């Protein structure tokens, strides 16, 4: 056997092991980023005790990662569970996840472009889901929702069971209301945001609340508000610089 053939055979034998190691590394990185997203959003006041964030599985698009049912500021890598797109646990004995996990699974089902989802109860954002004044972008970091924000109304399912998205049917209806947009308001409840990366998701979550605060302050003064306008495709930040800062502030990098 020549040296070249021996080398080829060794590489062929090693390939499955190397591939598995690469997949494990990608999963570990996704879990670390998901823990960071939980901690950052909690520190920024977006997920103070309640709400949840998820990321699509890095090597299996038919699964996603989310924490067990725990306050976001307490999430560690050991708390992350794997669910399928029906929001059922992949492994037996998986700890209980959030009641509203269907928000995540149903959005991932119909939006292959989405790799991260958050449901939160940003207070000023919620105020735009209870009245008639639409939430509109007023500064450049909010350009991602220039096309407007739809509102999903839980009352379409009646009021007997409250406003939670705690069934697959409600999750599917929410995903349908979201369509191809990044944000959907939830009447009398909160908001769901969908993005292509976790840093983008975190940045949009913070920017959305900031925009709501700025718009509310201007409206409270009785101002005629000048809303953001772009004639072409809106520019936007990937929030990677801020993502690194937020992680450093929490001692996570």
Contact between 195 and 204 under an 8 Å Cβ cutoff? The reply is yes
Supply the pLDDT for residue 7. Answer: 66
pLDDT at 93 over 90: no
The H-assigned helical ranges of 92-179 are 102-110, 123-127, 168-178
- Structural domain range at position 145: 3-249
Quick one: which of 58, 219, 191, 61 has its CA closest to 120? Answer: 191
Quick one: which of 152, 162, 157, 135 has its CA closest to 186? Answer: 152
Supply the pLDDT for residue 236. Answer: 72
pLDDT in tens, 181-203: 999 999 999 999 999 999 999 99
- CATH code of the domain covering residue 57: 3.40.225.10
Total number of domains in the chain: 1
Selected catalytic residue, list 20, 26, 100, 209? 100
Stretch 207-222: mean pLDDT, rounded?
Answer: 97
How many angstroms separate the CA atoms of 111 and 18, rounded?
A: 31
Catalytic residue check, 100: yes
Supply the pLDDT for residue 3. Answer: 67
pLDDT band for position 157 (50/70/90)?
Answer: very high
């Amino acid at each position: 056997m020549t040296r070249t053939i021996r080398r080829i055979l060794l590489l062929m034998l090693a390939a499955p092991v190397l591939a598995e190691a690469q997949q494990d590394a990608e999963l570990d990185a996704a879990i670390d980023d998901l823990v960071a997203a939980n901690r950052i959003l909690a520190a920024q006041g977006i997920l103070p005790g309640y709400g949840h964030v998820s990321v699509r599985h890095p090597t299996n698009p038919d699964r996603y990662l989310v924490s067990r049912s725990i306050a976001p500021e307490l999430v560690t890598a050991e708390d992350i569970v794997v669910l399928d797109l029906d929001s059922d646990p992949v492994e037996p004995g998986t700890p209980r996840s959030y009641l509203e996990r269907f928000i995540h699974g149903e959005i991932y089902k119909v939006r292959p472009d989405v790799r991260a989802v958050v449901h939160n109860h940003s207070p000023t954002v919620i105020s735009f889901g209870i009245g008639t004044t639409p939430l509109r972008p007023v500064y450049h970091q909010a350009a991602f929702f220039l096309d407007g924000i739809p509102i999903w109304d839980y009352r379409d399912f009646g009021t007997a069971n409250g406003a939670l998205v705690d069934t697959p049917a409600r999750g599917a209806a929410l995903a349908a209301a979201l369509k191809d947009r990044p944000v959907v308001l939830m009447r009398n409840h909160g908001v769901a945001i969908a993005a292509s990366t976790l840093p983008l998701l975190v940045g949009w979550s913070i920017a959305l609340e900031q925009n709501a605060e700025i718009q509310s302050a201007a409206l409270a003064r009785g101002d005629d508000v000048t809303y953001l306008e772009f004639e072409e495709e809106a520019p936007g930040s990937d929030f990677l610089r801020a993502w690194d800062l937020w992680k450093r502030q929490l001692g996570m990098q």
